[in-house]
Chains A and B, each alone.
Chain A
Amino acid sequence: MTDRAMVDGVSPPRFSVPLELRAVAITLALGVLGYTLFPDDLAFLTRLISITLLVLSLDLVTGYCGVATLGHAAIYGVSAYVVGNACLAGHSDPLLLLLVGAVAGAVMGLVSGVLVTRFKGLPQLVLSIAVGQLVAALANKLSSLTGGSDGLSGISPGRVFGVYAFDMYGRTGYVFSVAVLMVVFVVLLRIVHSPFGLLCQAIKDDSLRARMIGARVYPRLVLMYGVSGVVGGIGGALNAINTGVVGLDSIGFERSAEALVMLVLGGAGSLWGALIGSIVFQVFEHYVSAANPFHWMTMVGALLIAVVLFAPKGLVSLGGLLAGRTASVMRRRP
């Protein structure tokens, strides 16, 4: 009797290939859509993708681990600077630069993780801000490495695979960025559904309970911070590679806060949420903030308040509601 219930009740294996294939298809479709809608403004789109990676990176620690941080841009900015310097030093292969960014991001992520995930609550928030501000102050000071307030410029990456040069229209940069986003997104989908990813979510839900099933909470969180660092680092690398310039704005408090806004708008705790949030926010910003930057700030504020009050799980929950309904209908079908 119980055996039978088990056979009936348990669904076929999860996380099979289709989920990842779907992710590939959707990112590709978004890439084509972006190219069709903004053919003359690919620079905007590559910037968007670079920031999207930062938001995905933030999602890993905020959405999946429950760490409230306002200093995440430190990871993004530091990698951008490291990549910029590596390129200026003559290591200009774009793939190598991505790797450099990922490693720099991982190191920054691990360091931040060690400091930030040690505590919960106010000390955690303050530590996250302090780490971010410390790094920003350092970036300002070390102007020989960062160009100070002028920014680090003159970064010109070589050809992708030694064949495709970064052109002035940004076509190569765009295709390159979409490809990177696609790969990262698929890998992250795997990671958040892996036992490690599940454990992080479990820690977010109830860290004491997670300990009571034997989890070592602090090392897990630090490790996830490291993974998040890799993703943020790749984002920073894309920023340096595509724009050729790295400025102090890529490392500061505003960048961190903005990333958090995008994440929450889309829905923290879902990779799709991070993706949707950063796209919607930045496309919106592209039009509105150009018109009036100060109204823009008021609108972002009002938007945040509205999201907290009316859609605390973000835009993706609205989509998720629909999808959930469809799925349950599908399940009921014989």
Chain B
Amino acid sequence: MSRPLLELRNVSMSFGGMRVNDDISFSIGKGERVALIGPNGAGKTTLVNVISGDLTPSQGAVHLAGVDVTALPISDRVDAGLIRTFQITRLFKSLTVAQNVALAVMQRKGLTRSMFSCPMDRPDVRREWERALGTLGIAHLADRQVSQLAYGQQRLLDLAIGLALEPKVLLLDEPAAGVPSEESSKIIEAIDRLPSDIAVLMIEHDMDLVFKFARRVLVLANGKLIFQGDPAEVTHHQEVRRAYLGSYADARHAS
């Protein structure tokens, strides 16, 4: 078996006395599509924050392509290809749509030290940010200010920034939540078309999307990883049903 791209070893995260993540271990390999589900307050976003480096775990280690990155700052993880999107869109509101994505491209190419040149319009840079915008169908908004975008469009842009960074491991925090169906289908399409060799971990509430997207499901409840395995099995798993799925699983069975 090839080395996993992302691996968590016994990760725990506490705030004060509260254990939000409790002894979590799993790994994701090249090309895998994994969904992370669980009821509200299960600790999913905290876990993503730990993986991305926004939080340092109280215990345990995060490995990226075999390298222990637990102590590394966020930026080093990004350089290594660990990219995330945000549940609440966080965009650069003083910049235009194109600049938001171009900045990500230029940062990846190490061009943001440049003070006097304008590589944003250099063909190789331009091609990349245009492609990222095009993939999500928002190329026509390139010159808009971020504040002029509708919520759904902002989510598309958020994902476009993620794509422009050429992730090896992509963490998607509820990419389609609260997004009108027109945009959410674009998001799903874009996720479908992600390069097949990258590993994707997606937090999602929409079970239809989870079943469509994931070949493996992780279930988090009360900070613990209570299930990981085939999506088809998740609805049959007793503990999961008790903790989370409840009515949904029953409804699915009935139909």
Do A and B interact directly, with beta carbons closer than 8 Å? Answer: yes
A209 B116 Cβ-Cβ under 8 A: no
Given A191-B115, A195-B112, A196-B114: A209 and B92 within 8 A (CB)? yes
Stretch at the interface among A6-14, A132-140, A159-167, A288-296: A6-14
Stretch of A148-156, A211-219, A242-250, A256-264 with 4 or more beta carbons under 8 angstroms from chain B = A211-219
Residues of A within 8 A of B133 (CB): 6
Which residues from A are CB-within-8-Å of B120? 14-15, 195, 198
Q: What residues of chain A have their CB less than 8 Å away from a CB belonging to chain B? A: 2-3, 5-6, 8-11, 13-15, 187, 190-191, 193-199, 201-202, 204-206, 208-216, 220, 227, 269
| Cβ 8 A contact of A9, one of B112, B115, B142 | B142
B172 interface residue (CB < 8 Å to A):
no
Residue of B nearest to A190 (CB): B116
Is A212 a contact partner of B78 (Cβ separation < 8 A)? Answer: yes
**B118 located at the interface, meaning its Cβ lies under 8 Å from any Cβ of chain A in the complex:** yes
Nearest B residue to A214, CB-CB: B78
24 contacts between A and B (CB under 8 A): A5-B134, A6-B134, A9-B139, A9-B140, A10-B130, A10-B142, A14-B118, A14-B120, A15-B118, A191-B115, A194-B116, A195-B112, A196-B115, A198-B95, A198-B103, A201-B92, A202-B94, A205-B91, A205-B93, A212-B83, A212-B86, A214-B108, A214-B165, A216-B75
Q: Does B60 have its Cβ within 8 Å of any Cβ on chain A?
A: no
Chain B residues positioned under 8 Å from A212 (CB to CB): 52, 74, 78, 83-84, 86
Q: Does B250 contact A (CB under 8 A)?
A: no
A280–chain B nearest beta-carbon distance, Å: 23
Q: Of B84, B95, B137, B139, which contacts A10 at CB under 8 A?
A: B139
Q: How many CB-defined contacts (below 8 Å) exist between A and B?
A: 128
Nearest Cβ in chain B — how far from A14, in angstroms? 7
Majority SS at the chain A contact face: helix
Within the complex, what minimum Cβ distance (angstroms) separates B165 from chain A? 6
Residues of chain B within 8 A (CB-CB) of A204 are: 94
Nearest A residue to B109 via CB reads A195
Q: Which residues of B contact A (CB under 8 A)?
A: 52, 54, 73-75, 78-79, 83-84, 86, 90-95, 98-100, 102-104, 106-108, 111-121, 130, 133-135, 137, 139-143, 161, 165
A213, B90: Cα distance in complex, Å: 11
Q: Which residues of A contact B54 (CB under 8 A)?
A: 208
Q: Residue of A at shortest CB range from B52?
A: A212
Residues of B within 8 A of A269 (CB): 94
Q: State whether A195 touches B106 (Cβ < 8 A).
A: yes
Whether A214 and B139, one on each chain, are in contact in the complex, defined by CB atoms closer than 8 angstroms, is no
Cα distance A5–B99 in the bound complex, in angstroms: 18
* Contact partners of A6 in chain B: CB under 8 A: 130, 133-134, 139-140
Q: Knowing A202-B92, A204-B94, A214-B165, say if A196 contacts B112 (CB, 8 Å).
A: yes
If A201-B95, A205-B93 touch, does A213 touch B107 (CB 8 Å cutoff)?
A: yes
B86 to chain A: which residues have CB within 8 Å?
Answer: 209, 212
Provide the residues of chain A in CB contact with B99, threshold 8 Å: 198
Task: Flag if A209 contacts B91 (CB, 8 Å).
Answer: yes
Do A209 and B103 touch (CB < 8 A)? no
Which A residues touch B118, using CB under 8 A? 13-15, 190, 193-195
Assembly CA distance A42 to B118 (angstroms): 37
B139: contacting residue among A5, A208, A227, CB under 8 A? A5
